[in-house]
Amino acid sequence: MFDRIKGSAMPFVVGILGGSRRIYATALETDLDGVWEKWERSKNLVPPRLVKSGPCQDVVHMGDEANIETLPAAVWTVGHDPGPYHTSPFVISRDPETRVPNVGVYRVQVKGPRKTGLMIYPPRNMNQHIRKNESRGCATEAAIVFGTDPVIGLTAVSPFPYGVDELAAAGGIRGEPVDVVRCLTVDLEVPATAEIVVEGKVPFQAREQEGPFGEYAGYMGEGGIHPVFEVNCITHRRNPIYQAFMSQMPPSESSCIKSFGREMEVRRHLKNNLGLPVHDVCITESSGATAMLLISMRKQNRFQPLKAMMGAWSLAIGVGKITIVMDEDIDIRDPFQVEWALSFRMQPAEDIHIVRNTDPMALDPSQPLKDGKKLPPTEQVSSKIGIDATRKFPYPPPSVPPREHLERVAANWAHYGIREVPQPRTET
């Protein structure tokens, strides 16, 4: 938390939801092993509860008084970004037909005191609201919320199916409804205890250049044509705290959050839908939580490693440009062990599968050029590599002393007069 920000009275916090895997677990009020179970609770939707008033509306700035430039948004990639961005906006909007709300994180580029960009990828849920509204010539009302109960932030960055209200999913994780208050100028409800709420709309067909922005892959992205948002009013707590996500070059808060969510999605699909004996799934942060997918399994036959790769590739999330399947004794979160498995359980001529004509990863700068020019995302084609680094037949015993010996030595370490006591490696 930074509490002396030049040009703003508000303190600025960053890294509070995904500064590390431990922080992420803490945000869900559990430990690393409890994260999966907490997320499973998000399936029991608990609709929000409407209350009369809330601290998020203690202070109200209407019309020209509502200046979004007073919020302490940062310039993240100095020298490359055109200006400040809000990286942790929980954007709430509503389906005009079903009235079901949605919460998503879509970055907000500050463009003026009452005008911002809203970078929404085509498959995102809010796009459907905009499309439906614009088919009737209407604007799309939205509320941009900063600083909430952590479970709301974590559901807002997770892709629930269209039609699921992320606030109801957050209620499921919490085990009690999220209290919401009505907005003052738009037909929406926002979490009553939020720090800051910016109400406004995407005017009918308002689109403009958005970006460039320092992207998840660790390179600048050019941006593109995206919706524009106009501010009606800003409400906030009496002494609000402003929240941002650290993104850009991995590892980052963004890569931590994404890897957790995507690992759980791949694991759920491989285990629950395909019945594969998967032990662990890791999507590395160095790959922007996208490119490198590691799977360990206690395989029951020689076909399952390839099935696991294909199962993961068939998901819409586009992960695993490089996918490696290993036996369950390998700790796939330890790069040393992964390289050991690749070195001695894999034959390049036999165990590597290259699949062509697959969907590309967004913003992958290695995407091939055509006639020296970058192709637009819709015309890009990529490929995938899958490596089966599981043992194909019985192996000799590993060249390590018995585990009891190692544990006895570790337990006696201090007794030998050596001060630092290392943790014994219990994996073989």
Ligand X SMILES: Cc1cc2nc3c(=O)[nH]c(=O)nc-3n(C[C@H](O)[C@H](O)[C@H](O)COP(=O)(O)O)c2cc1C
* Binding stretches for ligand X (CB under 6 A): 102, 104-107, 119-121, 124-126, 157-159, 245, 247, 254, 257-258
Instruction: CB nearer to Mn ion: give 158 or 259.
Output: 158
Write the CA distances from 418 to 116, 411, 422, integer angstroms. Answer: 60, 11, 10
Instruction: CB nearer to ligand X: give 55 or 221.
Output: 221
| 102 contributes a contact to Mn ion by CB under 5 A | yes
Q: Which position's Cβ is nearest ligand X?
A: 104
Identify which range of 70-78, 119-127, 265-273, 401-409 contacts Mn ion by CB under 5 A. Answer: 119-127
What DSSP element (H or E) covers 209?
Answer: strand 207-210
Of the CA atoms within 13 Å of residue 127, those in its CB half-sphere come to 9
Instruction: CB nearer to Mn ion: give 315 or 406.
Output: 315
Collapsing DSSP to helix, strand or coil, 270 comes out as helix
In the complex, the smallest distance separating the C-beta of residue 121 from ligand X, rounded to whole angstroms, is: 4
Collapsing DSSP to helix, strand or coil, 133 comes out as helix
364 within 8 A of 217, measured Cβ to Cβ: yes
Rounded to the nearest angstrom, the gap between the alpha carbon of residue 258 and the centroid of all alpha carbons in its chain is 3
| 125 contributes a contact to Mn ion by CB under 5 A | yes
In the complex, the smallest distance separating the C-beta of residue 152 from ligand X, rounded to whole angstroms, is: 12
For 230-240, letters b (16+ CB in 10 Å) and e give ebbbbbbbeeb
Instruction: Look at the chain and count its residues.
Output: 428
* Residue 121, contacted partner among Mn ion, ligand X, none, CB below 5-8 A by kind: ligand X
* Residue 106, contacted partner among ligand X, Mn ion, none, CB below 5-8 A by kind: ligand X
In the complex, the smallest distance separating the C-beta of residue 416 from Mn ion, rounded to whole angstroms, is: 57
| 140 contributes a contact to Mn ion by CB under 5 A | no
In the complex, the smallest distance separating the C-beta of residue 189 from ligand X, rounded to whole angstroms, is: 16
State the Rg of the chain over Cα: 24
- The DSSP line for 333-351 is T-HHHHHHHHHHS--HHHH
Name residues contacting Mn ion, limited to 147-186 (CB under 5 A): 160
Q: Which position's Cβ is nearest Mn ion?
A: 125
In the complex, the smallest distance separating the C-beta of residue 187 from Mn ion, rounded to whole angstroms, is: 18
In the complex, the smallest distance separating the C-beta of residue 48 from ligand X, rounded to whole angstroms, is: 15
Q: Report which of 218, 325, 352, 330 is spatially closest to residue 266, judged by C-alpha positions.
A: 325
* Residue 258, contacted partner among Mn ion, ligand X, none, CB below 5-8 A by kind: ligand X
Residues at the interface with Mn ion (CB under 5 A): 102, 125, 160
